[in-house]
Amino acid sequence: MADTAASPFPAPHPDLADLAEAVAGQLGRARADLADLVALPSVHGAHPEACAQARDLVRTLLAGLPVPGLGPDSVEVVETSDGSHAVFAHRPAAPGRPTVLLYSHYDVQPSGDPAEWTTPPWELTERDGRWYGRGAADCKGNLVVHLTALRALAALGGSAPDTPGGDDDEADPRGADPLDGLGIRLVVEGSEETGGGGLDDLVASRPDLVAADAILIVDSGNVSAGVPTLTTSLRGIANLVVVVDTLSAGVHSGQFGGAAPDALAALISILASLRDPETGATTVDGLDFGGEWTGRPYAEEAFRADAGILDGVEPSSAAPVADLVWARPAVTVLGIDCPPVEGAIAAVQPRARALVNLRVPPGMDPLEAQDLLAAHVQRRRPWNARVSVEKETVGHPFSSVPAGGSDPVHGLLSECLAKAYGAREVAEVGSGGSIPLCTALREAHPGASIALFGVEDPAAAIHSPDESVDPREIERIALAEAAFLQRYR
């Protein structure tokens, strides 16, 4: 691994010295596996052959894990309702021991225009200490975390370390089992990026496939490279397609413009009503915009850098950044159907459409929020234009720790993350993104603890050209996960 000096990574805590050495010994294999995975453009719905190859590679990788109880017979591939395939591996727990589920996905976003990439998107390339390629971080890099953690534990061998309340003198009857009888489930899905709901449906119909006491969703990341982070909340999603019709056909803008109702202008007027022009606040009638984030703040200067805000352009001033991106609803116009500038003709437009994205924070019902958005759009139509809305499937918001409560899994995982990064504490943050699977898992197994973390720092540029991962993040997240699996009781 190349020397990387962009940000300091203190040495792991001495308690993890042996395990850290075992993880470091797996990094060459980790890079090779990531290179093989990145080479496959596994965009669900766009490249079926590459998705099939990625599925088969994941099956091979899971079947080859050198952990007792995991192997070819432990792996199952299941087709889901959206045509994708999820790969499962299961090692049953010994009597009295819990089960941990490790989640990731092998599908990726499209690469977009290859000309916007510095190096080929489907080739893992090292540059300035980072590994570049589509999926290097989201989420093939996180899949490699699971492989690396389990291989390191197998290489280390032996039983779990002493834990508080344990009997130091009691012999371990399983001897060489590096996981001391812990049950393991690995779940690697194939359509997370398209939101098709395939795995969600499968979880609802076959909850046995995901039965666990602790669920580690490794599809998130750190607030910055080298800062261990747990994501404790996710916003939900409630989208609408807004359609405006005003004319039976387009008419000449010189002959009819000024009196003829312009569908595109009507749509623009409706969309403009969704945000305050001064503060940027979301202004959907009846939608609560007063939420406050009580955890770690999000400094405006850090947000400006993470979001790539241009010099002189101001972010929303409606509230502190953390409130706006983690605790309050937000409306974003994702796309508009209208004539492009190139080749446009002088005509008043008869029809226009827009896809409106509404994110809702924990505690807010996405169906009710979607209804409020639809009613707002209808009330704001100018000139009595014909406005219809198409409601898309909603995703519910999620909070990993119950309000006012604590969670022993989060406590242990926080300790392991801090020690893996040589840090004094772990940052706990929210996410404006949505992972509907979390809600499906909680509904299937309400007693399970669910934690979100991963390798995706802000510099990773996930979903964008030049996506990358810092290999030290793979190393440290794998170390933290391995330490958790050693110690979880």
Look up residue 146 and give its two tokens.
């699971």
Burial class (CB in 10 A: 0-12, 13-18, 19+), 175: exposed
Contact between residue 452 and residue 435 where contact means Cβ atoms under 8 Å apart:
yes
Query: How many helical (H) and strand (E) elements, i.e. helices and strands, does the chain have?
Result: 13, 19
Dist. CA 246–CA 263, nearest whole Å: 5
Contact between residue 473 and residue 222 where contact means Cβ atoms under 8 Å apart:
yes
**Cα dihedral 167/170/171/175 (nearest 10):** -20
Match 């596996």 to its residue by tokens. Answer: 33
The residues that bridge with 87 in the sheet, in sequence order, are 77, 188
Contact between residue 22 and residue 156 where contact means Cβ atoms under 8 Å apart:
yes
Q: Residue 265: enclosing H or E segment and its boundaries?
A: helix 263-272
Dist. CA 309–CA 301, nearest whole Å: 10
Dist. CA 220–CA 213, nearest whole Å: 20
Question: Among candidates 429, 387, 441, 374, which has minimal Cα distance to 238?
Answer: 374
Phi, psi of 225 (to 5 degrees): -60, 130
**CA distances to 109, 120, 137 from 113, in Å:** 12, 10, 19
**Enzyme catalytic residues:** 107, 192
Asked if the peptide bond before residue 139 counts as cis, ω within 30 degrees of 0, the response is yes
Look up residue 263 and give its two tokens.
């569908």
